Amino acid sequence: MKARIKFRKYGVMRFIGHLDVMRFFQKAMRRAGIPIAFTGGYSPHMIMSFAQPLGVGITSDGEYLDIELREAIDSEEAIRRLNEVMVEGIDVVDFCRIPDDKKSSGMTIVAAAEYRAVLLESAKSADITKPFPDSWQMKLEEFMKRENIVVLKSTKRSEKEVDIKPMIYQMCLKKDGICLFLAAGSEQNLKPDLVIGAFLKFINEEPNGVPFHYHRVDVYARQPEGTEHVCQSSKNIILEGKQHTFIPLSELKII
Amino acid sequence: MRKLALNDEILLKIEKPARYIGNEVNSVMKDPSKVDIRFAMCFPDVYEIGMSHLGIQILYDMFNRREDVWCERVYSPWFDLDQEMRKENIPLFALESQDPIKEFDFLGITIQYEMCYTNILQILDLSEIPLYSRDRDDSVPIVIGGGPCVTNPEPLADFFDLFYIGEGETVYGELFDAYKENQRNGGSRREFLEKAAEIEGIYVPAFYDVTYKEDGTIASFAPMNPHAKARIQKQVVRELTDTCYPQAPVVPFIKVTQDRVVLEIQRGCIRGCRFCQAGMLYRPTRERDVEILKQYAYRMLRSTGHEEISLSSLSSSDYSQLKELVTFLIHEFKEEGINICLPSLRIDAFSLEVMGKVQDVRKSSLTFAPEAGSQRMRDVINKGLTEEMILSGAGQAFEGGWNKVKLYFMLGLPTETEEDMKEIPRLADKIARRYYEIPKDKRNGKCQITTSTSFFIPKPFTPFQWAKMYTNDEYIARAAIVKHEFSEQLNRKSLKYHWHDAEVTVLEGVFARGDRKLSDVILEAYRLGCLFDSWTESFDNEKWMKAFENTGIDIGFYNLRERDVHEIFPWDFIDIGVTKDFLYQEWQKALQGETTPNCRMSCSGCGASRYKGGVCIESKN
């Protein structure tokens, strides 16, 4: 039996990296007495996988991990028990059953992530934001009209030029920040700072001189083909003339 | 939401920001306006090391049980943050409240090893507390030192207001009450120190006068303030089971050295190895009740969520209820995927049986610490281990499926000859031979015998406190003899040899048995940029040598001299229970190669029985 946990990450916890958040949840499962399943062998470990790593410094309202359970547990009860052993800066908001098959796992189905980027007074604090210059509205439209957006993407081993345009599903200016809907997952993955960096370069700003804070709103999967799943938080995106529907991972559950 | 002392820009720039943000599970938050005493507890090394220390977790828990005290933690900022803090003038802060240390009532520093002395100065410096205690006024915290190194606090005497000598569980309450009373009466810093000096186990170094002979040794050491005692009684908990123990220790976000539940099963050791300071300091050996330990194990695993539990003691095999405890742990927790660590076990049928249950035999290695290669040398150090015992233990292990063995030895022990050194590789080879006696089809490929040697450092309050050390070159020459002898062994391909650096050994030797004159060297080394000296990557011997040169202090005086029976040692004013007469008698027996039975075999009258606890009263019950 498998379950998906959705949690929020905010406050000082944004300085805790992905691997340490994994360790945190492993210990939290024991503290909360969640009947999680283990692998066999001499050093058994918990069967647990995170959908999509979150970079240090970024806050989020939509983080996911899937776990395998030894026995059923009531969702409300699980949420309550987990929140009793959390720290300030991590809240469990959902715990639901998901299909057992491999292809339903969070890690496999992640296709997109939504971010909000806000402009900061100073890199010293993510709490003090400032409004965007008026000119940005038009510049952003121009930026998105370009055929391709080539950036230098550096990985641990190498640097290469990549056209990120096809991975930007949506980018628009809203009152509370720049809204980004970006490709995510194991096949292609785009980080929000790379997009904002390219935009700043486009408008002739030095990226390091313009501080931003990033917030992940949610993580999405493609609507499974042939299903008529309707939910309020789903997103319809037109890509190359074709409509694609994305739904938050928390909606793909067994009810 | 919690406010942090460091801004986002710094936190995102430095390595592992989790070291500095607090907020960990089980960390204690209080309202500062509702407490009388704010205590900053410091381990002067990086977070991952400091968080692994059991003593701090015990005191943190004990202090915070008091409603009038809020104890918080502080560790050494790593080089990257150190630099930022100096650049931006950010004062050092405590993890919980993120408030500056300088606003606290106490800064308590645990001193676990000599090579953290420059880090102590960094802590004071970044906290904006004057380095010398004589320069401090009423506005800064009382700086208090504790831990094993304060059994000779003299090299640090100028930097501390007071030292707590012995086990922390006994007189902190009295000290806090004296502080509160002094605050209520509007008393000064000096008035508090005078009151503190009257409490057992508390040493206020500024209240003592030391004079020296022409040869540099101490002529007299005496209190010059009527409140100070001539002798300081080391503090010892009589009944260990009755003391408090943290049921919900703080759980770090990042991986630390000791990332597990630690269960202290006993304190002290009955063995009486002559090189071992802990073996003398923590006398008498005292056990914790096994039923209580079972409860602790359960509660601590539950409250932390750790996936591993480790037993802690100087010699677990001597714990009388070991079998019951280990059986309980395996039975109760193995199914839940909890790892069980059993360090410091003697290799015998029982330990092999349980180790076979808790670890993968093929992957793990067994550890022996014969400490010396020849039987003569093992008798000198009173190790109480014969070659026959080692070979039979190894043989049983090999037959149980193990094929990796680690061996630990010391070089530079008193009376050591070339023959003694050569016996180290020979013993390793005998162990390998024992392995190859097993028929080919029944053994698991080749064996791997890894030998490590470190250089012996005489410590205060051990029978070897009179012994001389050697120069850096001499140490390296001894390691070379061992290395050469390894290449002569039959099974040399199955033997590996590592030795520790000797530069640090020389410095540790100086500070272990040093006097008050050494504070100048420590300060000079810090000024020259020495920091994190216990880290190989940052240890800079050249700077240290320069510091000795600049201050005119001679290493030879501290290390190369065999001390005379009449010499007054800098630490003689401390009474640890074990008498100087007993230690000297043991020193003489060592030189003759005579052994002394362990505490359970028979009492040798060391003096620790005055504490009326543990093994000293076992047979009399």
CA–CA distance, B177 with B610 (Å, rounded to integer): 27
Residue A104 in any domain: the answer is no
Same domain, A115 and A219: yes
Residues contacting A42, CB < 8 A, separation 6+: B359, B360, B363
The answer to whether residue B536 scores a pLDDT higher than 80 is: yes
Q: Is B160 helix (H, G, I), strand (E, B) or coil?
A: coil
CB contact under 8 A, B253 and A16: yes
Return the CATH architecture of domain B8-233.
Answer: 3-Layer(aba) Sandwich (3.40)
Quickly tell me which residue has 């009376």 as its tokens.
B415
Domain co-membership, A77 together with A125: no
Task: Say whether pLDDT at A158 is over 60.
Answer: yes
Of A23, A85, A89, the CB nearest to B255: A23
- Residues B601-613 have pLDDT tens digits of 999 999 999 999 9
CA–CA min distance B173, chain A (Å): 31
Name the helix (H) or strand (E) containing A232: none
Substitution target in A8, A15, A38, A46 with the highest count of B β-carbons within 10 Å is: A15
d(CA B219, CA B242): 42
Q: Say whether B307 and A26 touch across the interface (CB within 8 A).
A: yes
As a dihedral over the C-alpha atoms of residue B317, residue B323, residue B329, residue B334, rounded to 10 degrees, the angle is 100
As a whole number of angstroms, the distance between CA B168 and CA B109 comes to 12
| B254 touching chain A per CB within 8 A | yes
Q: DSSP string of A20-52?
A: HHHHHHHHHHHHHT--B-B--SSS--B-EEESS
List chain A residues with CB under 8 Å of B28: none
Asked if residue A103 is part of any domain, the answer here is no
pLDDT score of B106 more than 60: yes
Considering only CA atoms, which of B338, B336, B410 is closest in space to residue B374?
Answer: B410
State whether A226 and A197 are in the same domain.
yes
User: Residue B619: which pLDDT band, with cuts at 50, 70 and 90?
Assistant: low
Share of chain B above pLDDT 90, in %: 90
Assess whether A52 and A26 both reside in one domain. Answer: yes
With CA atoms as reference, the chain B residue closest to A47 would be: B337
* A120 plus A232 within the same structural domain: yes
Residue of chain A with shortest Cα separation from B304:
A31
Q: Answer whether residue A18 shows pLDDT above 90.
A: yes
Query: Would you state the pLDDT for residue A141?
Result: 94
* Whether A247 and A134 share a structural domain: yes
Tell me the CA distances in angstroms from B282 to B147, B279, B595, one per residue in order: 12, 6, 20
Q: What angle do CA A214, A215, A219 make, to 5 degrees?
A: 125
Question: Closest-CA residue in chain B for A213?
Answer: B8
Q: Which residue has the tokens 């950036």?
A: A151
Q: How far apart are CA A91 and CA B4, in angstroms?
A: 20
Q: Other C-beta atoms within 10 Å of B328: how many?
A: 17
- Rounded-to-integer distance, Cα A236 and Cα B75, Å: 51
Chain A residues whose CB is inside 8 A of the B339 CB are 43
Percent share of chain B, pLDDT over 70? 99
Average pLDDT, chain A: 92
**How many A/B residue pairs have CB atoms within 8 Å?**
79
Instruction: Report DSSP letters for B431-477, one per residue.
Output: HHHHHHTS-GGGS-S--EEEEEEEE----TTSGGGG-----HHHHHH
Contacts of B48 in chain A (CB under 8 A): none
pLDDT of res. B45: 98
Query: What are the Cα distances from residue A230, in Å, to A223, B505, B519, B577?
Result: 9, 71, 74, 78
Taking the Cβ of residue B305 and every Cβ of chain A, the question of whether any pair is shorter than 8 Å is answered with yes
Architecture of domain B238-359+597-621: 2-Layer Sandwich (3.30)
d(CA B283, CA B615) in angstroms, rounded, equals: 9
Q: B551 by DSSP, 3-state: which? A: helix
Helix-helix angle B418-436:B387-399, to 10 degrees: 30
Q: In this structure, are residues B148 and B162 in contact, taking their beta carbons and an 8 Å threshold?
A: no
What is the predicted pLDDT for the residue at B620? 56
The proportion of chain A whose per-residue pLDDT surpasses 70, expressed as a percent, equals 98
CA distance B280 to chain A (A): 38
**CB burial string B586-595: b at 16+ within 10 A, e below:** bbebbeeeeb
Q: Could you tell me how far CA B134 lies from the centroid of its own chain? A: 28
Listed by number, the residues of chain B in 348-387 with a beta carbon closer than 8 Å to a beta carbon of chain A are 359-360, 363
> A230-234, B251-255, B292-296, B459-463: lowest mean pLDDT where?
A230-234
Which chain A residue lies closest to B26 (C-alpha atoms)? Answer: A87
B299, B245 Cβ separation under 8 angstroms: no
Going across the sheet that includes B308-312, the strands are: B261-264, B308-312, B339-341
Give residue-wise pLDDT tens across range B142-171. Answer: 999 999 999 999 999 999 999 999 999 999
**Measured between beta carbons, which residues in chain A are less than 8 angstroms from residue B341?**
none
Partner B, chain A 102-141, Cβ-Cβ below 8 Å: 122-126
- Token match 């000797």: residue? B502
- Which 3 state secondary structure label does DSSP give B359? coil
Co-location of A123 and A241 in the same domain: yes
For residue B549, the surrounding DSSP H or E stretch is helix B541-551
Please compute the mean of the pLDDT values over residues B494-514 and round it to a whole number.
Answer: 96
Phi, psi values for residue B349, rounded to 5°: -55, -45
Q: What count of other Cβ atoms lies within 10 Å of the Cβ of residue A112?
A: 26
Averaged pLDDT, B2-13: 95
At residue B445, does pLDDT exceed 60? yes
Question: What is the amino acid identity at position B102?
Answer: K
In Å, what is the CA distance from B509 to each residue of A109, B356, B375, B439, B505? 61, 39, 26, 47, 6
Rounded to whole angstroms, how far apart are CA atoms A246 and A124? 35
Torsion of CA B325, B330, B332, B336, to 10 degrees: 150
d(CA B254, CA A221): 31
ipTM of the complex: 0.94
Location of each CATH 3.40.50 domain in chain B: 8-233
A88 CB within 8 Å of a chain B CB: yes
CB contact under 8 A, A29 and B21: no
Question: How far is the C-alpha of B378 from the C-alpha of B372, rounded, in Å?
Answer: 5
What is the C-alpha radius of gyration for chain A, rounded to an integer number of angstroms? 19
The residues, ordered by sequence, that sit 6+ positions from B66 with a Cβ below 8 Å of its Cβ are B173, B176
The alpha carbons of chain B give a radius of gyration, in whole angstroms, of 25
Question: How many angstroms away from the CA of A206 is the closest CA of chain B?
Answer: 17
Best interface-test mutation with B: which of A8, A14, A25, A30 has the largest number of B CBs within 10 A?
A30
Number of domains in chain A: 2
Average pLDDT, integer, range B352-380: 87
Regarding whether A157 and A125 lie in a shared domain, the answer is yes
* B295 contact partners, CB below 8 Å, separation of at least 6: none
Instruction: Enumerate the residues of chain B whose CB falls inside 8 A of the CB of residue A18.
Output: none
Smallest Cβ distance to B18: which of A16, A26, A33?
A16
What residues does CATH 3.30.750.210 cover in chain B? Answer: 238-359+597-621
Residue B308's contacts (CB-CB under 8 Å, 6 or more residues apart) are B259, B260, B261, B338, B339, B340, B341
B349 vs B327: CA distance, rounded Å: 14
Task: Give me A204's structure tokens.
Answer: 């002739």
B191 touches chain A (CB under 8 A): no
Joined tokens for residue B255: 């991986």
- What average pLDDT does the segment B387-406 reach? 91
Q: Over range B553-568, report the average pLDDT.
A: 96
Enclosing H/E stretch for A192:
helix A192-202
Domain that holds residue A42: 2-98
The pLDDT confidence band at residue B442, using thresholds 50, 70 and 90, is confident
Tens-digit pLDDT profile for residues A27-44: 999 999 999 999 887 778
Which among B4, B23, B363 is the top mutation candidate for probing chain A, defined by the most A β-carbons within 10 Å of its own β-carbon? Answer: B23
Q: Which one of B3, B7, B8 makes the best mutation probe of the A interface by having the most chain A beta carbons within 10 Å?
A: B8
Distance from CA of A117 to the nearest CA of B (A): 16
Interface of B with A in 311-350 (CB under 8 A): 336-337, 339
Does A115 share its domain with A227? Answer: yes
| Chain B touched by A84 (CB under 8 Å) | no
Interchain proximity A88–B253, CB inside 8 Å: no
Write down which residue in A98, A133, A156 finishes a domain: A98
Assign residue A53 the CATH number of its domain. Answer: 3.30.70.580
Q: Which of these ranges, B161-170, B196-205, B362-371, B507-516, has the smallest mean pLDDT?
A: B362-371
Place B292 in a pLDDT band, splitting at 50, 70 and 90. very high
Q: Residue A229's pLDDT is what? A: 65
Give the largest Cα separation in chain A, rounded: 62
Residue A206 falls within a domain, yes or no?
yes
Contact criterion met (CB < 8 Å) for B307 and A17: no
Residues A120 and A147 reside in one and the same domain: yes
User: Best interface-test mutation with B: which of A8, A18, A25, A31 has the largest number of B CBs within 10 A?
Assistant: A31
Closest by CA to B506, choosing from B111, B115, B45, B110, is B115
Query: What span, in angstroms and rounded, lies between the C-alpha atoms of B339 and B259?
Result: 12
What mean pLDDT is reported for chain B? 95
Residues B114 and B457 sit within 8 Å (Cβ to Cβ): no
Distance CA B127, CA A2 (A): 50
> What pLDDT, on the 0 to 100 scale, is given for residue B621?
47
Q: Which residue has the tokens 């052993």?
A: A85
Residue of B nearest to A30 (CA): B305
B302 and A28: CB-CB below 8 Å?
no
Given A68, A98, A128, which residue is the final one in a domain?
A98
CA distance B17 to A81: 28
Q: Encode pLDDT of B176-208 as tens digits.
A: 999 999 999 999 999 999 999 999 999 999 999
> Residue A107: its pLDDT value, please?
85
Q: How many residues does chain A have?
A: 255
Of A20, A46, A122, the CB nearest to B254: A20
The per-residue pLDDT for range B12-50, each reduced to its tens digit, is 999 999 999 999 999 999 999 999 999 999 999 999 999
Pick from A12, A210, A198, A220: nearest CA to A111: A220
Alpha-carbon gap, residue B210 to B201, rounded angstroms: 20
State the angle between helix axes of B519-527 and B117-126 in degrees (0 to 180), rounded to the nearest 10. 70
From A98, A121, A140, the end of a domain falls on A98
Q: At what angle do helices A192-202 and A136-145 cross, to 10 degrees?
A: 110
Subunit contact A43:B360, Cβ cutoff 8 A: yes
